[in-house]
């Protein structure tokens, strides 16, 4: 065996390091193959959450507009439903299976709007609904 500090010992030390590294060759590719789908799924879930949040905001606004139309002095339940569905169709055409119900009482008008959100993640079906209630316009002598 060569004494420490001689050229032979350095070669062996480098050779020993290289042989250990050769056993790890390809490990990064395997780790990437295991983590890449998880990272992609996390990104898709984040985008799906943002799409759902935007749809919920629009559906909430549509319910509010429908309730205001229903509660107006000459408003009707059908006018409130149509206003809500038109508002939803104009602002977010990607919401599917839209539905709206409206009720008008002597003191309050309520509109509920619902729909399904575009799905980016396979197997995820998101349904969003919102209800808005406003006081009706009425003459009180």
Sheet harboring 126-135: ordered strands across?
96-104, 108-117, 126-135
More confident residue, 1 or 79: 79
pLDDT at 8: 57
The set of residues, in sequence order, having a beta carbon less than 8 Å from that of 127 and lying 6+ positions away, is 114, 115, 116, 117
Select, from the ranges 3-7, 12-16, 32-36, 130-134, the one with the highest average predicted confidence (pLDDT). 130-134
pLDDT at 13: 52
What is the number of H-type helices and E-type strands within the chain? 3, 3
Checking if the pLDDT of 10 tops 60, the result is no
pTM: 0.73
pLDDT at 19: 52
All domains in the chain, ordered by first residue: 27-135 (3.10.450)
Question: What would the pLDDT profile of 107-134 be if each residue is shown by its tens digit?
Answer: 999 999 999 998 888 888 899 999 999 9
Question: What would the pLDDT profile of 49-92 be if each residue is shown by its tens digit?
Answer: 999 999 999 999 999 999 999 999 999 999 999 999 999 999 88
More confident residue, 66 or 93: 66
The rounded distance, in Å, linking the Cα atoms of 2 and 12 is 10
Largest CA distance in the chain: 112
pLDDT at 33: 84
Mean pLDDT computed over 94-99: 90
Checking if the pLDDT of 16 tops 70, the result is no
Residue 66 is encoded by which pair of tokens?
Answer: 């429908």
């Amino acid at each position: 065996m060569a004494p420490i500090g001689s050229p032979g010992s350095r070669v062996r030390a480098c050779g020993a390091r290289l042989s250990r590294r050769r056993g790890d060759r390809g490990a990064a590719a395997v780790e990437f193959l295991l983590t890449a789908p998880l990272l992609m799924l996390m990104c898709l879930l984040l985008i799906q959450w943002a799409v759902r949040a935007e749809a919920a905001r629009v559906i909430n606004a549509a319910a509010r507009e429908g309730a205001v139309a229903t509660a107006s002095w000459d408003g009707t339940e059908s006018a409130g439903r149509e206003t809500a569905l038109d508002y939803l169709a104009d602002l977010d055409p990607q919401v599917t299976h839209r539905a709206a119900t409206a009720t008008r009482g002597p003191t309050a008008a309520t509109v509920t709007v619902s729909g399904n959100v575009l799905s980016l993640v396979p197997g995820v079906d998101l349904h969003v609904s919102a209800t808005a209630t406003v006081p009706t316009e009425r003459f009180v002598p």
